Structure 1
Amino acid sequence: MKPAANTGALFTPETKKQAATSQGIDCTTPNTATTIATTAHHAIATMTLPDTTIKLDPDPTTNQWHAAAVGQQLWFTLDNPGPQHTTTTNTDITITLTATPGAVTINPGTINPGAHTIPIRCTTGRPRPTTTNGNQPSPVCGTSYQHPGHYTITATRTWTITWTAQGHTGTETITRPVTAPTLDVIELHSLLVPNS
């Protein structure tokens, strides 16, 4: 007795090609769209992007204690490298990449209970204007510390990468580490000295 015939839908190489072609995928080379996307992903992963450096204003390293004070408002400044463009060729596929810098997420380096524990998300940062009076917080990107200690600030920047190659295009989002300072925070006390 012969086995029963398979009555399910059959996807021959020709029907697969017709289906792919109807979706705008070039099938002259096997797995062209998949190969290009994989190559683009590799190019993005190995793309060289400029470093972002976070600085503090006022700069604690310039005072006599080389430290910030508890409750002192610190303003973050951030590099703005602007969009980055590059073209690379891999396995005979030429890929054009455009990387646009996005927000920087800063972890202020909490080491004590009750200190600032929420990461700070900044799209921009700027130094304190010389006309700023008093201990005013930054309107765009800054923090203050409520406990003395040694803090290691860490941060990452989000980049949006757009790629094009052989009529195909795509977008990916990646994060890269940011250069950030370490910080000593001390508690300052006022001392009243009577006139002699």
Structure 2
Amino acid sequence: MAWNGDEYVLINVPCDDLRPDAMSPQQAAEQAIARLSFTTPDVGFGPDPNNNRFGMLPVGFNVWFFPRGGTLEPASARDSVGGHEVNLSIRVKEITYQLGDGTVLKCSGGGTHRPADLKRDIKSPDCGHQYEQKGEYTIVAMTTWQVNWTASGASGSQEITLSSSRSLSIGELHSVNR
């Protein structure tokens, strides 16, 4: 309403952000993607050094890397933004591990959990490493999700990467004969 000097007059003002042409399908998709909630997986490795009395893994031992928890399963979502119906499909594209010694592993499946009852030192089938020197290593896992979208006849994709980290102690074990 506005006062014109004699009376209040109702003014009809169009709301541009509700019209589909006010926001492009890509802009609508970007806003819908920004509303998504991802839980970053924690870094998992096996065997667990906390399960031995030394609290570390030995130099040269095969360490398996894998994600623990987080948003890992493919999913879909729908949102209405700026007059567009946005359909989203989400999946983990890859998990990249920076192992603290200069090694980088790209694991499309994220890695395989090492069975807790596995007693032998065997290589991971898809995401493992052997440390050659003792030390404290910080492992950083960068999870990349691919989000495909469709809105009002348009389509596209976007990647989202989040990271988590965990420390790992690698040491030397020496046998002592008595």
Q: TM-score, with normalisation over the residues of structure 1? A: 0.70
CA gap 1:157/1:33 in 2 versus in 1, 3 angstroms: farther
The answer as to 2:172 corresponding to 1:187 is: yes
| Residue pairs, 1:39-118, within 5 angstroms | 39-78=28-67, 81-110=72-101, 117-118=102-103
Runs of at least 5 residues in structure 2 that lack an aligned partner in the other structure? 1-17
Cα distance in 1 for residues equivalent to 2:103 and 2:115: 26
Task: Give the superposition deviation at 1:130.
Answer: 6.5
Cα distance in 1 for residues equivalent to 2:54 and 2:116: 22
Equivalent of 1:141 in 127, 143, 161: 127
80-89 or 64-73, which deviates more: 80-89
Runs of at least 5 residues in structure 1 that lack an aligned partner in the other structure? 1-28, 111-116
The sequence identity of aligned pairs, in percent, is 28
The RMSD of aligned alpha carbons is 2.6
Give the match's secondary structure for 1:85. strand
CA gap 1:65/1:133 in 2 versus in 1, 3 angstroms: closer
Q: TM-score, with normalisation over the residues of structure 2? A: 0.76
Task: Tell me the equivalent position of 2:139.
Answer: 153
- Runs of 4+ residues deviating >6 angstroms: none
- 2:93 is aligned with what amino acid? G
Task: Give the superposition deviation at 1:46.
Answer: 3.8
